[in-house]
Structure 1
Amino acid sequence: MRQYIDCREFPSEMKCTVAIAADTEDELINAAVQHAVAVHGEKDTPGFRAEIKKVIHSGTAPA
């Protein structure tokens, strides 16, 4: 089943509106971490990946 993470759920000064979707959890976490590191200045750590995993939703992001 399709899964997604939506940056709009996390208020920030940059008001990011990116939603990332994938068919597998690993692919989604990898893409979300790449986005968070490149755009939001996060660090790719096991703890951060665990936090990302907690905010995964099933289905597709709302418009």
Structure 2
Amino acid sequence: MTRKYIDCREFPSEMNCTVAISADSEKELLEAAVQHAVTIHHHADSPELRAQLVTLFHEGTPPTEAPRTA
């Protein structure tokens, strides 16, 4: 099983969030990412949010340096 992660540093925001979350399962990562998005970024928990978050998952572990943003 490959570890997965999502990294807020890839997405510029007003709060300059530097959180990266990783987990051993996609289900666990999704629940943690939804909790973070709702609590910190004030998104509504919806099927659309969950579907979008899954598309942002990467395999492996987050890099120590902030990724470059577009």
TM-score range, shorter chain: over 0.9
How many residue pairs match? The answer is 63
Deviations 1:19-53 (CA, angstroms, capped at 9, x unpaired): 00000001000000000100000010001000000
When you count helix as a share of all residues, which structure comes out higher?
Answer: 1
- Aligned residue number for residue 63 of structure 2: 62
Which 4+ residue blocks in structure 1 deviate beyond 2 angstroms?
none
The structure with the larger Rg is 2
Query: What TM-score, normalized by structure 1, do the two folds share?
Result: 0.98
Where structure 2 has 5 or more consecutive residues not aligned to the other structure, the ranges are 65-70
Where structure 1 has 5 or more consecutive residues not aligned to the other structure, the ranges are none
Query: What TM-score, normalized by structure 2, do the two folds share?
Result: 0.89
